[in-house]
Amino acid sequence: MKIAAIGGGVIGGGWIARFILNGHDVRIFDPHPEAERIVGEVMANASRAYERLFQAPLPAPGKLIWSASIADAVEGADYIQESVPERLDLKHKIIAEIEAAAPPSAVIGSSTSGFKPSELREGAKHPERIVVAHPFNPVYLLPIVEVVGGGAAADRASEILTSIGMKPVQIAKEIDAHIGDRLLEAVWREALWLVNDGIATTEVIDDIIRYGFGLRWAQMGLFETYRIAGGEAGMKHFLAQFGPALKWPWTKLMDVPDLDDRLVNMIADQSDEQSGMHSIRELERIRDDNLIGIFHALKANDWGAGQSVAQMENRYYARGVTAEPGYPLRLHQARVGGSWVDYNGHMTEFRYLQVMGDATDAFLIHMGLDEAYRGQGLSAYTVETHIRHLSEVAAGERITVETRLLGHDKKRFRLHHSLLREDGSEVATGEHMLVHVDTNAGKVVPMQDVLLAKLAEIEALDLATAPLDHAGRGIRELRATEAAA
């Protein structure tokens, strides 16, 4: 699939990173003299974030190709994402240039925060293929994208954006600023009043959000949260209790403070005091690490945006596990996250098992025990594990897992994982016995022929490999002489 990006600023850069990190080449046009540096810096932060976010092996990144004109960038493109500044006259000019050179079948997605598809389509040759595809910053991490405009183009855009890990929400009826920005504007306008009126500083307002309802919003929206706030009587009780307050002077919604020099300077000064000690790129990394922690927690609970991460990992496993040829198999890599390190300053115990467990998952997919196979009510359970911790590993280090199949019969198979640093030295080994189970009956059953054939093929490779001297050993007993010493 050929992707083109027109505009590589805050949002264009995020789009480019998302497409490239999902294996697509992207042709970009942006006349800014520093566009290459800016996009390069966004790419660096995005790659760093993906290594920390996903446990599954990432696809080989696509290439970034700089074009000298819009015509060159969009030639032969299947999907074009426009992310130029929010001015309707400029968007019209860009769309006209795109249409002059792109194939008529190409879908054009606009990042516009506020313009409606009917406005973007004015004067277009093929208006029906122009849709709003409005993302949220950082585009490479946040899954939601509002797709407005309907028809085949909206369906195609949704399909493409789903394939790069996004959660498109198609909005049937166009409205200024779509949905997300209408909600955000209400909060933003109120926050500006609170600063303007000297009620709170930028820092106090941000603290009230991040120590309070902001934490709730990452995992449940307004309606689910307020349903709970209604107690056992639920939403109706909530509306009865707090409904009247909507008519009290709690907000100044449509009234906007004048963004004169005084207010702009006041906000900018307070913001400098609050966050000026960090560069924007540092702030992006802090933000990304926090988001990744939230994604991981939500993934562990199989909830909300964590499900998007899990779905992407399944896709990455499905297409990535056979990527590296040779034996032992190299199916899984991990980067030691900051939160993986304990009070001793290196990777804590249970994370070794996590890396081995993820490598086992990659092996299961490699041998054919994938989502479709599991859909038949069949799976594999680990029944015994022996880990040898051989050396410490620090935050930020990359671990590659080499996996061997030490043996199998109709119902069981024995795996060996070796965790290696980038210099090839061994960090730990794990030996694991797995059984094949009927998950509904809760009992061990023989594997289907397709799995047995694949295991036989892998075991033949193992038989041609030097045996491991530590395989099959448990923890040895303490000798009396050693215990006395």
Ligand X SMILES: NC(=O)C1=CN([C@@H]2O[C@H](COP(=O)(O)OP(=O)(O)OC[C@H]3O[C@@H](n4cnc5c(N)ncnc54)[C@H](O)[C@@H]3O)[C@@H](O)[C@H]2O)C=CC1
Ligand Y SMILES: C[N+](C)(C)CC(=O)CC(=O)[O-]
Residues in contact with ligand X by the rule CB under 6 A:
6-12, 29-32, 35, 83-86, 94, 111-113, 134-135, 137
- Tell me the torsion sign for CA atoms 271, 277, 279, 281: negative
184 binds ligand Y, rule: CB under 6 A: yes
Q: Closest separation between CB of residue 238 and ligand Y, Å?
A: 27
11 annotated as ligand-binding: yes
Q: Closest separation between CB of residue 70 and ligand X, Å?
A: 6
Name the residue nearer to ligand X (CB basis): 68 or 463: 68
Q: For the chain, how long is the longest CA-to-CA vector?
A: 90
Q: Closest separation between CB of residue 184 and ligand Y, Å?
A: 6
Scanning residues 110 to 149, which ones bind ligand Y (CB under 6 A)?
Answer: 113, 136-137
Give the span between the Cα atoms of 62 and 470, in whole angstroms: 41
Name the residue nearer to ligand X (CB basis): 45 or 400: 45
- Choose from ligand X, ligand Y, none: what does 461 bind? Cβ within 5-8 Å by kind: none
Name the residue nearer to ligand Y (CB basis): 188 or 350: 188
Q: Closest separation between CB of residue 10 and ligand Y, Å?
A: 9
8 annotated as ligand-binding: yes
435 annotated as ligand-binding: no
Q: Closest separation between CB of residue 30 and ligand Y, Å?
A: 18
- Choose from ligand X, ligand Y, none: what does 184 bind? Cβ within 5-8 Å by kind: ligand Y
Q: Closest separation between CB of residue 77 and ligand X, Å?
A: 14
Burial of 474 (0-12, 13-18, 19+ CB in 10 A): exposed
Q: Closest separation between CB of residue 223 and ligand X, Å?
A: 23
- Choose from ligand Y, ligand X, none: what does 6 bind? Cβ within 5-8 Å by kind: ligand X
Q: Closest separation between CB of residue 255 and ligand X, Å?
A: 23
149 annotated as ligand-binding: no
Name the residue nearer to ligand X (CB basis): 32 or 37: 32
Tell me the residue type at 182.
Answer: R
6 annotated as ligand-binding: no
Name the residue nearer to ligand Y (CB basis): 184 or 186: 184
- Reduced 3-state DSSP string for the chain: CCEEEECCCHHHHHHHHHHHHCCCCEEEECCCCCHHHHHHHHHHHHHHHHHHHCCCCCCCCCCEEECCCHHHHHCCCCEEEECCCCCHHHHHHHHHHHHHHCCCCCEEEECCCCCCHHHHCCCCCCHHHEEEEEECCCCCCCCEEEEECCHHHHHHHHHHHHHCCCEEEEECCCCCCCCHHHHHHHHHHHHHHHHHCCCCCHHHHHHHHHHHHHHHHCCCCHHHHHHHHCHHHHHHHHHHHHCHHHHCCCCCCCCCCCCCHHHHHHHHHHHHHHHCCCCHHHHHHHHHHHHHHHHHHHHHCCCCHHHHHHHHHHHHHHHHCCCECCCCEEEEEEECCHHHECCCCCECHHHHHHHHHHHHHHHHHHCCCCHHHHCCCEEEEEEEEEEEECCCCCCCCEEEEEEEEEEECCCEEEEEEEEECCCCCEEEEEEEEEEEEECCCCEECCCCHHHHHHHHHHHHHHHCCCCCCCCCCCCCCCCHHHHHC
- Choose from ligand X, ligand Y, none: what does 112 bind? Cβ within 5-8 Å by kind: ligand X
Question: What are the CA-CA distances from residue 11 to residues 129, 134, 143 (Å)?
Answer: 21, 10, 14
Name the residue nearer to ligand Y (CB basis): 110 or 113: 113
Name the residue nearer to ligand X (CB basis): 12 or 304: 12
**Taking CB under 6 A as the rule, which mask of x and - marks residues 385-414 in contact with ligand Y?**
------------------------------
Residue nearest to ligand X (CB): 9
Name the residue nearer to ligand Y (CB basis): 139 or 309: 139
14 annotated as ligand-binding: no
- Choose from ligand X, ligand Y, none: what does 61 bind? Cβ within 5-8 Å by kind: none
Name the residue nearer to ligand X (CB basis): 29 or 363: 29
Q: Closest separation between CB of residue 348 and ligand X, Å?
A: 37
Q: Find the binder of ligand Y among 181, 206, 370, 438 (CB under 6 A).
A: 181
- Choose from ligand Y, ligand X, none: what does 59 bind? Cβ within 5-8 Å by kind: none
Q: Which residues are annotated as a binding site for NAD(+)?
A: 7-12
Binding site for ligand Y (CB under 6 A): 113, 136-137, 181, 184
Q: Which residues are annotated as a binding site?
A: 7-12
